[in-house]
Amino acid sequence: MSIPVSNLTPALQVSKLCFGTMTFGEQNSLSESFNLLDKAFDSGINFFDSAEMYPVPQRAESYGRSEEYFGRWIRERKVARHRLVFATKVSGPSGQMTWIRGGPTSLDSRNIKEAIDNSLLRAQTDYIDLYQVHWPDRYVPMFGETDYDPANQYNHVSFEEQLDALGRAVDAGKIRFIGVSNETPYGVMKFLQAAEKNPAYPRIISVQNSYNLLCRNFDSGLAECCHLERVKLLAYSPLAMGLLSGKYLLPDGGAADARLNLFRGRYSEGESRYNLSNPTIREAIKAYISIAERYDIHPVSLAIAFVLGHPLVSSAIFGATKLWQLEQVVSACEVKLNAEIIADIDEVHSRFPNPCS
C-alpha cells in the first residue's frame, strides 16, 4: 500500500506517518531499531523524528542513543540522505537532566548552537531537515498540566535570541527548517511575529503537539493560529501512548513490556497525562473501542485515521517497539472514517472532553 504524503512546505514533502525513535536505545536494541527502521522505510515512511534527550525514560547512560542509532542506520544501510526527512529537537530548561548541558539551564544561543552541533555529530549527518524546540524556555503548563499559574512565570530567553541562533544554523547549512513543540497559541504567534519583523529570522513551519481522541486541545486555540498562519501540526501520541489500542484494559492489564507497565513510576511525563487510574480516561477509552467494534475497525486504525483526517495535520508521529505494531499503524492508512463514525466520535468527545490533556 502507499502511505499518503503532505507538504510541510513546498520544499519539504513528508509521509503522513512519521516514525518516532524515542524507544531506540532503551526498549529497542540497535538491531531491533534497524529492523523497525527498515520496515518503516520499506513501507513508504520517509519522515523520522528524534530528540537529543531520547530515549525515554531519559537517563545519563542512554542519552543521545536514539539519534545515534538513526544515524548508524543511514550509514550502514547506505540510504541516500535526500530520501529521508530527519527531525530532531533541542531540550528546553529542565534542571533534572544534568547530563545535558547542566540541566539544561536555558534555550539561549549557546545552548541551541551546542545542541545542534552535538545532534549532527551523533547522527553523523551534514544537516537536520527540521529542528524543533522540544518545549518552551518559558513556563507553560504541559505534560498533563492544564491551568496556567501566573505565579510560576520566570524570566526567559527571548524569542528573538532563540530565532537568531536558529537562523545562524540555517545560514550555516546545519538545519533547513524550524518548528516548535509542546507550544501554546501565545508562543506560536510570538515566534511568527518576531520572524515577520526581522527577515533574518527563520519562520516556524510546524508545531509538534499531542493530538488524539483523548486530547484534542489543539482545536481550541492553536488550530486557528496554525490555519491562518500556515503552520502545520505534527501530531504526536496519536494512540495516546498506547491507551487507544485497548491493551491496558485487557484482563492482564497489558503485556509486561508495554511502556506504561515497564516503566511504571519512572516516566512522570507520560504517567501524569495518560493516567489509567483515572476512571474518566478508562470510560472514554472503552467508548472509543466500542465505536471501533461497531464499525468493524481495529481500535488502532480508528485512532490513527481520526488524526490523519484532521485538515491541519501534516503527519502523525507514532512509536513502535515491535514490527507487528508498526504494521498495524501503517495499515491504518487504508481506513477512512465516514460522517457517521465521526459523529459517534464527537458524541463520545462531548461526554469525555480531553481527559488526557
The answer for residues whose C-beta is within 8 angstroms of residue 18's C-beta and 6 or more apart is: 45, 47, 48, 49, 87, 234, 315, 316, 317, 318
Phi and psi (nearest 5°) for 14? -130, 155
pLDDT at 265: 80
H-run or E-run covering 177? strand 175-181
One digit per residue, pLDDT tens: the chain, 357 residues? 589 999 999 999 999 999 999 999 999 999 999 999 999 999 999 999 999 999 999 999 999 999 999 999 999 999 999 999 999 999 999 888 999 999 899 999 999 999 999 999 999 999 999 999 999 999 998 877 788 999 999 999 999 999 999 999 999 999 999 999 999 999 999 999 999 999 999 999 999 999 999 999 999 989 999 999 999 999 999 999 999 999 999 988 888 888 888 888 887 777 788 998 899 999 999 999 999 999 999 999 999 999 999 999 999 999 999 999 999 999 999 999 999 999 999 999 999 999 998
pLDDT at 1: 58
Decide: helix, strand or coil at residue 257: coil
The sign one gets for the Cα dihedral 90, 230, 15, 80 is negative
The set of cell numbers assigned to 42 is: 520499506
Catalytic residue check, 154: no
Residue 222, CA atoms < 13 Å, CB-side half-sphere: 24
CATH number of 5-243+300-337: 3.20.20.100
The set of cell numbers assigned to 330 is: 501503517
Helix residue spans in 130-210 (DSSP H): 159-171, 185-197
Residue 316 near residue 308 (C-beta atoms within 8 A): yes
Residue (of 231, 147, 219, 152) closest to 190 by Cα position = 231
pLDDT at 354: 96
pLDDT at 299: 98
- Report the alpha-carbon distance of residue 178 to residue 20 in Å, rounded: 17
Which residues is 217 bridged to in the sheet? none
Residue (of 77, 108, 78, 79) closest to 91 by Cα position = 108
pTM, whole model, 2 decimals? 0.97
